[in-house]
Amino acid sequence: MSAENDQNGSTVRVVLDAMGGDYGPVETVKGAMRALESGNIEVILVGEKDSVEAELANYDLAGKPVRIVPSEGKIGDDEHPVRAMRSKPDSSILIANKLLKSGEADVLVSMGSTGASMAGAVLALGLLEGLDRPCIGGPFLGLAPRTVLVDMGSNIDCRPGMLLNFAALGMVFSRKFLEIPDPKVGLLSVGAETAKGNKQVQESHQLFADSHLNFVGNVEGMDFFTQKADVIVCDGFVGNILMKYTEGLGSALFPFLERELSSRMAPEDVRSFAASLWQMMNLPRTMGGPLFGVNGAVVLGHGSCKGGEVAGAINTATRYVNLGMVESMREELSKMNRQETPSNPS
Amino acid sequence: MSAENDQNGSTVRVVLDAMGGDYGPVETVKGAMRALESGNIEVILVGEKDSVEAELANYDLAGKPVRIVPSEGKIGDDEHPVRAMRSKPDSSILIANKLLKSGEADVLVSMGSTGASMAGAVLALGLLEGLDRPCIGGPFLGLAPRTVLVDMGSNIDCRPGMLLNFAALGMVFSRKFLEIPDPKVGLLSVGAETAKGNKQVQESHQLFADSHLNFVGNVEGMDFFTQKADVIVCDGFVGNILMKYTEGLGSALFPFLERELSSRMAPEDVRSFAASLWQMMNLPRTMGGPLFGVNGAVVLGHGSCKGGEVAGAINTATRYVNLGMVESMREELSKMNRQETPSNPS
């Protein structure tokens, strides 16, 4: 981390949706306490007062900058985000967003419903200028931890201009968060040649080539592992399928590993190997995924995250704030929109 | 294999493009000789006479039903298939297709350029009635060897009707080749709910629901491993990305495995484990992929196949013929087209 990028000096105020995810508030509180041990942070836990307090009672809070802001109810994965937001205005994710919006917190972390977290953030914070939609991006594979994928699943049908915006956001993440000086951007397709690809890729290709991005052309499925591109761009349909496929594959490898390795390795070695392989396949679970494009710092985590993974997402969030990621993304979009519409003075 | 399906009695005549792939004719001839050891087959090797003869000289041919049909030239991966077909009418893949068309062979096996193999087969054999395009399908993961993926990459932008036809072909493969009595068919999407998916999936959903297929609705990336569907349908854009991603992942796991396992296992055990893991990720390399939808039996293999994998593709080809796969696919399409266009007497 270079000194000029990283404003490590000031305390980062993290607001955590303590009710979110499959294991809130037990694991969210555990994750917050773990993150407090190492990071220069304050934590605001948003949730049902009694149950969060009961969890906190398990820890030694002496000198720990943690407090509760009460909320009522929670928006589940199975609810329609916008309808649920209307009927549950005091739910944990909405209160947490309000604290971010009002400036009481620097960054929001949520393991709750992705749809509700995104919709809540867009409604409370608004989008960066030039964007119609936010997107989720970041590295998604431990085997390729410096390759950024955008969009991970938030936008199913994407116009070429949307893909270009997402590419710019992913590029900023790569440059600042992963410290890759001039990130190469590739369009995910079925062949390296310009003509190869579906209609969407073909329509996007020229737009990418004309942009100021360091566009290396089309990349293919294997190029997540070849360093041909630092940022790989696809719509959320393909991104979601790749993410879930990889997760499923990681789990499906377990019985195979047990069968293949149990005769050659001690059981505890098999388990520890399986755990590290699983982590290789599930990077966003251990570090969360930033929500790109909203007017504020938001990091989302998988609903099934346990304490250590919640702490990982909080660490990502802290670094995201310290690096001034949102401001850099705002500047990048503004630069791109100036360049790409020279005749338009706005 | 059930007796009524399998006509094991008669010898299958396999025509092999001996020049195809990265290692023809060395590895193609090796594969043919290996397949001849176990299968009730005859092999026609199509290729440059001198070089194929030179390869055959390495083997004991006594009593082996193998012969050469000479060809001139080869169509490479980097050539435009249709243009190359015009300029190289005596190339190995075109001569091989002629032998299949004329009835001198029962099935064609090619490790050569996928584009040229497909275009050659469509031109020589024509398509099954009701189809506009062929497609490549089959199981693609050793971890999920009974889950069929169509389309693996041959058709990039697909209309809903194409996807439905491909689903029917994949279903026949699942039922006869994999012996799954009533294969469940799923549309690959980003959520199980009917409304979830891109435009293409949403437009296809009702068509699938109205068909006689055992349609289980949308499936997601992890469902390659959940047995929710036996046949997973997507366009060739997504299919190609998934295939190449999986291949790349299999290779990228190597250094990780070496690092993780070398302290706990003997080097030869690490290598043998890595090899079986790689095979888990690369099923089509070991068994080839049938070309669905042409009026004849064609099995394609990866260009990088070595002898054992060529033999695997020949075994797949033999079984494909013995099971009468092409005839069953023709019947299925005809049944579907009758049901789906009741007002159309054709």
pLDDT in tens, B210-224: 999 999 999 999 999
Task: For residues A269 and A338, give the distance between their C-alpha atoms in angstroms, rounded to a whole number.
Answer: 55
Mean pLDDT of chain B: 90
pLDDT in tens, B281-339: 877 778 888 999 999 999 999 888 899 999 999 999 999 999 999 999 999 999 888 77
Nearest to A317, CA basis, from A134, A168, A61, A111? A111
- Report, as an integer, the average pLDDT of B168-186: 97
Burial class (CB in 10 A: 0-12, 13-18, 19+), A81: buried
Provide DSSP, A93-114.
HHHHHHHHHHTS-SEEEE-S-H
- Higher-confidence residue: A272 or A233? A233
**A188 DSSP β-pair partners:** A219
Q: What is the DSSP letter of A148?
A: E
Task: State the angle between helix axes of A160-172 and A199-210 in degrees (0 to 180), rounded to the nearest 10.
Answer: 50
Residue B341 is predicted with a pLDDT of: 55
Mean pLDDT of chain A: 90
Nearest to B244 among A153, A222, A249 (CB): A222
Which of B143, B198, B227 to mutate to probe the A interface, most A CBs <10 Å?
B198
Which of A147, A156, A279 to mutate to probe the B interface, most B CBs <10 Å?
A156
Residue B109 is predicted with a pLDDT of: 97
Nearest to B157 among A188, A198, A240 (CB): A198
Task: For residues A289 and B201, give the distance between their C-alpha atoms in angstroms, rounded to a whole number.
Answer: 26
Tell me which residues of chain B, numbers 205 to 224, contact chain A at a CB-CB cutoff of 8 Å: 220-224
Please, what is the Cα angle at B243 between B237 and B244, to 5 degrees?
90
**A44 DSSP β-pair partners:** A15, A67
pLDDT in tens, A188-214: 999 888 888 898 999 999 999 999 999
Tell me which residues of chain B, numbers 98 to 157, contact chain A at a CB-CB cutoff of 8 Å: 141, 143-144, 153, 156-157
Gyration radius of chain B's alpha carbons:
20
Q: Are B294 and B154 contacting, i.e. CB atoms less than 8 angstroms apart?
A: no
Residue A8 is predicted with a pLDDT of: 54
Domains B1-130+293-324 and B132-285 agree in fold: yes
Nearest to A124, CA basis, from A102, A107, A154? A102
Q: Report residue A234: phi and psi, to 5°.
A: -150, 170
CA A303 to chain centre: 13
The lowest-confidence range among A83-92, B5-14, B127-136 is B5-14
**B299 vs A54, B12, B325, CA distance in Å?**
64, 14, 12
Provide DSSP, B175-235.
IIIS--SS-EEEEE-SSSSTT-S-HHHHHHHHHHHHSSSEEEEEE-GGGGGSSS-SEEE--
- Its CATH class, for the domain covering A1-131+293-323, is alpha beta
- Report, as an integer, the average pLDDT of A312-320: 95
The lowest-confidence range among A186-200, B164-178, B265-279 is B265-279
Nearest to A213, CA basis, from A149, A177, A169, A157? A169
Task: For residues A339 and A287, give the distance between their C-alpha atoms in angstroms, rounded to a whole number.
Answer: 34
Q: What is the DSSP letter of A175?
A: I
Which of B205, B238, B270, B271 to mutate to probe the A interface, most A CBs <10 Å?
B238
Q: Are A16 and A109 contacting, i.e. CB atoms less than 8 angstroms apart?
A: yes
- Higher-confidence residue: A48 or B260? A48
Residue B82 is predicted with a pLDDT of: 86
- Report, as an integer, the average pLDDT of B88-108: 96
Q: Are B242 and B179 contacting, i.e. CB atoms less than 8 angstroms apart?
A: no
CATH of domain B1-130+293-324: 3.40.718.10
Residue B238 is predicted with a pLDDT of: 96
Query: Do the chains contact at A221 and B245, CB–CB below 8 Å?
Result: yes
The topology (CATH level 3) of B132-285 is Isopropylmalate Dehydrogenase (3.40.718)
Q: Which residue has the tokens 């990418």?
A: A208
Per-position b or e across A295-329, b if 16+ CB within 10 A of its CB: bbbbbbbbbebbbebbbbbbbbbbbbbbbbbbebb
Partners of A156 on chain B (C-beta within 8 Å) are 190, 197-198
Residue type, B316: T
Provide DSSP, B19-84.
T-STTTTHHHHHHHHHHHHHSSEEEEEEE-HHHHHHHHTTS--TT--EEEEE------TTS-HHHH
Task: For residues B61 and B67, give the distance between their C-alpha atoms in angstroms, rounded to a whole number.
Answer: 10
pLDDT in tens, A39-82: 799 999 999 999 999 999 999 999 999 999 999 999 988 888 88
Q: Are B28 and B18 contacting, i.e. CB atoms less than 8 angstroms apart?
A: yes
Confidence of residue B340 (pLDDT cuts 50, 70, 90): low
Residue A61 is predicted with a pLDDT of: 92
Please, what is the Cα angle at B116 between B112 and B120, to 5 degrees?
115
Residue B331 is predicted with a pLDDT of: 95
Nearest to B245 among A224, A244, A261 (CB): A224
Residue A140 is predicted with a pLDDT of: 86
Tell me which residues of chain A, numbers 23 to 62, contact chain B at a CB-CB cutoff of 8 Å: none
- Its CATH class, for the domain covering A133-285, is alpha beta
Task: For residues A233 and A217, give the distance between their C-alpha atoms in angstroms, rounded to a whole number.
Answer: 11
Instruction: Flag whether pLDDT at A346 surpasses 60.
Output: no
Task: For residues A239 and A243, give the distance between their C-alpha atoms in angstroms, rounded to a whole number.
Answer: 6
Residue A42 contacts by C-beta under 8 Å, 6 or more apart in sequence? Answer: A11, A12, A13, A14, A65, A66
pLDDT in tens, B36-57: 998 799 999 999 999 999 999 9
Domain ranges of chain B: 1-130+293-324, 132-285
Query: Do the chains contact at B143 and A190, CB–CB below 8 Å?
Result: no
**How many other CB atoms are there within 10 angstroms of residue B307's CB atom?**
18
H/E segment holding residue A9:
none
- Report, as an integer, the average pLDDT of A132-141: 92
Gyration radius of chain A's alpha carbons:
20
Question: Which pTM does this prediction carry?
Answer: 0.91
Nearest to B241 among A143, A188, A265 (CB): A188
Residue type, A199: K
Q: Are B197 and B119 contacting, i.e. CB atoms less than 8 angstroms apart?
A: no
Partners of A237 on chain B (C-beta within 8 Å) are 189-190, 197-198, 238
Provide DSSP, A261-323.
HTTTS-HHHHHHHHHHHHHHH-HHHHH-EEEETBSSEEEE--TT--HHHHHHHHHHHHHHHHT
Instruction: Flag whether pLDDT at B274 surpasses 90.
Output: no
Find the length of chain B: 346
Residue B149 is predicted with a pLDDT of: 96
Task: For residues A117 and A298, give the distance between their C-alpha atoms in angstroms, rounded to a whole number.
Answer: 9
